[in-house]
């Protein structure tokens, strides 16, 4: 059930970014033992996105789940993505997208530059 909810949240997050002019470069990019949900590009900026989908606040908000351990894992995967590309000079940031689903209502929050 959680995989279905997560996959739906990632799809909604991807559509949300595309409506805002982002190009989705990768979905579920795996490197070593980690994964980044979405990697997007807008202008010359690469955005590594962790998507957290919640149906309730029982376990806290989505952004709270991206703790220092998870941030370190995302950074490592981002380094793997960068090293797999042509060398170049570009900026990047780490965002968190929280998808909150309650009944038929869905709210999507983009937290830009959520961590460094």
The pLDDT confidence band at residue 77, using thresholds 50, 70 and 90, is very high
Of 15-24, 27-36, 81-90, give the lowest mean pLDDT range: 81-90
* Cα 7 off chain centre by: 12
Q: Is residue 46 over pLDDT 80?
A: yes
CB 62 within 8 A of CB 96: yes
pLDDT band at residue 97, thresholds of 50, 70 and 90?
Answer: very high
pLDDT at 60: 62
Nearest 5°: phi and psi at 10? -65, -40
> Average model confidence (pLDDT) for the chain?
88
Q: Which two tokens stand for residue 35?
A: 């994964």
Query: Of residues 63 and 104, which shows the higher confidence score?
Result: 104
| Alpha carbon separation from 109 to 2, 30, 77 (Å, rounded) | 20, 24, 23
């Amino acid at each position: 059930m959680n995989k279905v909810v997560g996959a739906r949240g990632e799809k909604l997050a991807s559509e949300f970014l595309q409506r805002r002019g982002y190009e989705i470069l990768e979905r579920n990019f795996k490197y070593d033992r980690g994964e980044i949900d979405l990697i997007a590009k807008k202008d010359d900026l690469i955005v590594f996105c962790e998507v957290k989908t919640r149906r309730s606040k029982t376990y806290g908000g989505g952004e709270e789940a991206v703790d220092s351990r998870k941030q370190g894992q995302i950074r490592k995967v981002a380094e793997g993505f960068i090293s797999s590309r042509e060398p170049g000079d570009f900026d990047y940031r780490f965002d968190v997208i929280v998808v909150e689903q309650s009944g038929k209502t869905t709210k999507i929050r983009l937290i830009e530059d959520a961590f460094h």
